Homo-oligomer: A and B are copies of this chain.
Amino acid sequence: MSQTVDRALSILPLLAQGPADLGQVAERLGVHKSTALRLLRTLHEHGLVFRQGDQRYRLGARLFALAQEAVENLDVREIAHPHLVELNEQCGHTVHLAVYEENEVLYIDKVESRYPVRMYSRIGKPVAITVAAVAKLLLADLPEPERRVVADKLDYPMYTSRSTPNAVAFLRELAVVREQGWATDLGGHEESINCVGAPIRGADGRAVAAMSVSAPNVVVTREELLTLLPLVRRTADTISREYSGTTRPKKA
């Protein structure tokens, strides 16, 4: 790995937390001001960083443009979206779409109760990987050795008393999910929130994404939410079919 690039890229998450001036950047990077300045300049020339009125640095528009392209290239999202909306119209609850990437599970789409999605709402956040239904689905689909390696590396925070406590329990849960082809999160992340989810599979049978429906206890009980399972699975299967039918990654 390249030290210079490593330092430069470390600036990005730093600025994502909020604007910072040259001194702060240099200090938090552990380098001299002049070094930080040159890194920032380079980032600036590529538009990833922006200087606002009072000399402070912020993430720039180019980064947003790149982020846009990054998700647009995930064509699962395009295909799935209308189906997520439809599902939302039928049940009224929040619908999520997530993918697995590099030891993380990220939400890439979301439909909130009755209103159309707004870009940049809360999509893009990593999910609570040890408890979320979509995370279980995606991890359960990994090849066995990788699954175990990932499970070992994870932390197992006890969000609630129902959270997955450790790797052993997690792997056991994944085996169940793998077997039954769907997953739940019953108060494992927040005590009052339940989810049911199902995988979206590509032509080769592997899970390319996962979707879930979430609702708080006060709206529907666990049992009522579980009655939506067939609908969720049917939607996921529909998306799977459309995805594997239209996706033809030519040039082999």
With A59-B245, A63-B67, A65-B125 already in contact, the answer to whether A45 and B1 are too (CB < 8 A) is: yes
* A41 to B, closest residue via Cβ: B1
Judged by a CB distance under 8 angstroms, whether A2 is at the interface is: yes
Chain B residues, CB < 8 A from A62 = 101-102, 104, 106
What per-residue 1/0 map shows which CB atoms of A30-57 lie under 8 Å from chain B? 0000000011011101111010111000
Are A67 and B120 closer than 8 Å at their CB atoms?
A: yes
Asked if A16 is at the interface of the complex by the 8 Å CB criterion, the answer is yes
Whether, in the assembled complex, A220 has its beta carbon less than 8 Å from a beta carbon of chain B, the answer is no
Contacts of A1 in B (CB 8 A): 38, 41-42, 45
| Complex: A39 Cα to B1 Cα, angstroms | 7
Which chain B residue lies CB-closest to A18?
B73
Q: Encode contact with B along A208-252: 1 for CB under 8 Å, 0 otherwise.
A: 000000000000000000000000000000000010111100000
Q: How far is the CA of A96 from the CA of B186 in the complex (A)?
A: 45
**B124–A203 CB distance below 8 A:** no
| Bound-state Cα–Cα, A59 to B4, Å | 20
Bound together, the chains give a CA A60 to CA B4 distance in angstroms of 20
Known: A70-B64, A101-B60, A108-B64. A246 touches B50 (CB 8 A): yes
Residues on A lying within 8 angstroms of B by beta carbon are 1-2, 4-6, 8-10, 12-13, 15-18, 38-39, 41-43, 45-48, 50, 52-54, 58-74, 79, 82-83, 99, 101-102, 104, 106, 108, 115-116, 118-120, 122-126, 143, 146, 203-204, 206, 242, 244-247
Nearest 7 pairs of A and B residues by beta carbon: A68-B124, A61-B246, A67-B67, A59-B70, A50-B245, A16-B69, A60-B245
